[in-house]
């Protein structure tokens, strides 16, 4: 028993009005074609075959090793597209599933059901149909007096009577492979000059082997994307699907209609997500968090019991019990350890804020390593860039940085060091010392004790 899946993706997608191949337009943050490739891989362990044509090079760059490729140099129809695969697959497998890459909401279970229905079928084809009151361009299913499927008629070629048929072809088929390879070249050319895969249905019926049809139950899986209007409809359906799964798994979405979470995101139990929150990419959110309103989180890790309020978090990691915002911005490489508090208008980039650091208001920490329980006063800035290079700012534990301090990197502050309000710190500050002023200098008493230390060292 073996099954291969062929995905047709050679068409141009003219009605998208785009410079990019239709199947590279994104749905749920992922190029449409990858949705099809994923479900194909879920139903068959063997690599799916992607038929490419228009923009084929670009499609390959995106799909990479996840598919094998067959080029359809000229787009002469869906039947012609499948015929291009014959040299590769003939005599290698028993069943072939064909799907179209512009139908990205299809679910793997539906393909599995299709395969399960074709395996015991003595005839050569099982196809999926849908009964719908909005057939929008789909081929109509013609059934005979006894109910058997006799043909698929494309909308363009359908008579007024046929157009009233409410059962349509969704474009998903499982074939007996040998029969398919024998019949592809016999498909007649259509008035439009194309070879329709759908004509195989009438050919089977003529041989007394009517196609077996499964009437699909969930119309949301069969949104064919031909325009950007369809793309937005599909996006909304996918969002609803993801949101529903999250809610059923124990996450509260206060307003699912304004919550935009990609299927790649993992969210822990009892986390509450407020409106206007967007979470994308490789993101994991812990349990018991409160996220949003108005937050954007991408490619980041958030621990348990965190509060992220109206903030932007990109490629950052946050441990447990951290609160951020409103208007916080974590950029690439920000790492906030447990219990960090980051209040309004803070920005952290490529820096570690160790346990219990408090950064209440208007601060920028770039390329820093800030020691445990340090207090970062309002308006503190690491001057990490000298116009050419980035430099590090390092502080010990329990440091107290006065409001409006400029830390001119590279600079190091020892444990329990303190800076006065408005200091411009250009030189390292010893443990326990206080500096103040512009440029910052040691408090006289601290200076004497430092000088003492040095003369001891020298002596």
Please give the positions annotated as active site.
Answer: 361
CB hemisphere CA count around 253 (13 angstroms): 22
Q: Which stretch binds ligand UD1 (CB under 6 A): 73-81, 107-115, 296-304, 382-390?
A: 73-81
Nearer of residues 226 and 449 to Ca ion, judged by Cβ: 226
Residue pair 398/372 in contact by the 8 Å Cβ criterion = yes
Residue pair 15/83 in contact by the 8 Å Cβ criterion = no
Residue 221 in contact with ligand UD1, rule: CB under 6 A: no
Nearer of residues 237 and 287 to Ca ion, judged by Cβ: 237
Partner from ligand UD1, Ca ion, none binding residue 260, C-beta < 5-8 Å depending on class:
none
CA distances from 183 to 17, 97, 124, 201, 346 (A): 35, 15, 11, 11, 66
Partner from Ca ion, ligand UD1, none binding residue 196, C-beta < 5-8 Å depending on class:
ligand UD1
Look-up of token digits 């139950």: 217
Phi and psi, residue 108, nearest 5°: -60, -35
Partner from ligand UD1, Ca ion, none binding residue 76, C-beta < 5-8 Å depending on class:
ligand UD1
Please list every residue from 77 through 136 that binds ligand UD1, using CB under 6 A.
77-78, 80-81, 100-103
Partner from Ca ion, ligand UD1, none binding residue 309, C-beta < 5-8 Å depending on class:
none
Strand 375-376 and strand 400-401: pairing?
parallel
Name the residue number minimizing CB distance to Ca ion. Answer: 224
Look-up of token digits 């590090």: 392
Q: Give the nearest distance from C-beta 110 to Ca ion in angstroms.
A: 17
Q: Pick one of 224, 281, 360, 422: the residue that binds Ca ion (CB under 5 A).
A: 224
Nearer of residues 158 and 290 to ligand UD1, judged by Cβ: 158
Q: For residues 123 and 175, what is the distance between their CA atoms, to the nearest angstrom? A: 9
Nearer of residues 102 and 321 to Ca ion, judged by Cβ: 102
Residue pair 246/271 in contact by the 8 Å Cβ criterion = no
Q: Pick one of 118, 169, 350, 423: the residue that binds ligand UD1 (CB under 6 A).
A: 169
In terms of Cα–Cα distance, which of 389, 388, 403, 391 is closest to 436?
403
Q: Which stretch binds Ca ion (CB under 5 A): 16-24, 45-53, 100-108, 121-129?
A: 100-108
Q: DSSP labels for 80-97?
A: HHHHTTHHHHTTT-SEEE
Q: Pick one of 67, 76, 102, 295: the residue that binds Ca ion (CB under 5 A).
A: 102
The alpha carbons of the chain give a radius of gyration, in whole angstroms, of: 31
Structure tokens at 367: 């390329």
Contact footprint for ligand UD1 (CB under 6 A): 8-11, 51, 72, 75-78, 80-81, 100-103, 138-139, 152, 154, 168-171, 196-198, 224
Contact footprint for Ca ion (CB under 5 A): 102, 224
């Amino acid at each position: 028993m073996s099954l291969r899946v062929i995905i047709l993706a050679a068409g141009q997608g003219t009605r998208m009005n785009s410079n990019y191949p239709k199947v590279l337009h994104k749905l749920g943050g992922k190029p449409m074609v990858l949705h099809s490739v994923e479900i194909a891989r879920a139903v068959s362990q063997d690599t799916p075959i992607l038929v490419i044509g228009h923009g084929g090079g670009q499609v390959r760059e995106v799909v990479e090793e996840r598919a094998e490729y067959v080029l359809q140099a000229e787009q002469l129809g869906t039947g012609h597209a499948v015929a291009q695969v014959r040299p590769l697959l003939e005599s290698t497998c028993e069943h072939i599933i064909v799907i179209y890459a512009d139908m990205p909401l299809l679910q793997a279970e539906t393909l599995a059901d299709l395969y399960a229905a074709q395996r015991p079928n003595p005839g050569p084809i099982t196809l999926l149909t849908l009964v719908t009151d909005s057939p929008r361009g789909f081929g109509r299913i013609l059934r005979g007096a006894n109910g058997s499927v006799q043909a698929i008629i494309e909308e363009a070629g359908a008579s007024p009577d046929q157009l009233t048929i409410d059962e349509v072809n969704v474009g998903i088929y499982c074939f007996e492979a040998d029969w398919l390879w024998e019949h592809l070249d016999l498909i007649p050319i259509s008035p439009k000059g194309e070879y329709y895969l759908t004509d195989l249905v009438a050919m089977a019926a003529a041989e007394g082997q009517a196609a077996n049809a499964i009437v699909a139950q969930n119309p949301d899986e069969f949104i064919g994307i031909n325009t950007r209007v369809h793309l937005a409809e599909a996006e909304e359906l996918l969002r609803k699907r993801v949101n529903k799964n999250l809610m059923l798994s124990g996450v509260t979405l206060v307003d699912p209609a304004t919550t935009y979470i990609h299927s790649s995101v993992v969210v822990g139990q009892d986390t509450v997500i407020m409106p206007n929150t967007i979470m994308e990419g490789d993101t994991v959110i812990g349990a018991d968090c409160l996220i949003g309103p108005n937050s954007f989180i991408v490619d980041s890790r958030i621990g348990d019991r965190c509060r992220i309020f109206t903030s932007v978090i990109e490629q950052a990691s946050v441990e447990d019990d951290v609160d951020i915002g409103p208007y916080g911005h974590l950029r690439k490489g920000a790492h906030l350890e447990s219990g960090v508090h980051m209040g309004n208008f803070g920005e952290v980039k490529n820096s570690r804020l160790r346990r219990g650091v408090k950064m209440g208001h208007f601060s920028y920490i770039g390329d820093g390593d800030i020691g445990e329980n340090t207090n970062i006063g309002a308006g503190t800035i690491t001057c990490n860039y000298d116009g050419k290079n980035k430099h590090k700012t390092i502080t010990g534990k329990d440091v107290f940085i006065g409001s409006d301090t400029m830390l001119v990197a590279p600079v190091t502050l020892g444990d329990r060091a303190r800076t006065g309000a408005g200091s411009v710190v250009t030189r390292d500050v010893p443990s326990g010392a206080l500096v103040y002023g512009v440029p910052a200098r040691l408090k006289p008493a601290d200076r004497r004790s430092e000088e003492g230390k040095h003369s001891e060292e020298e002596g």
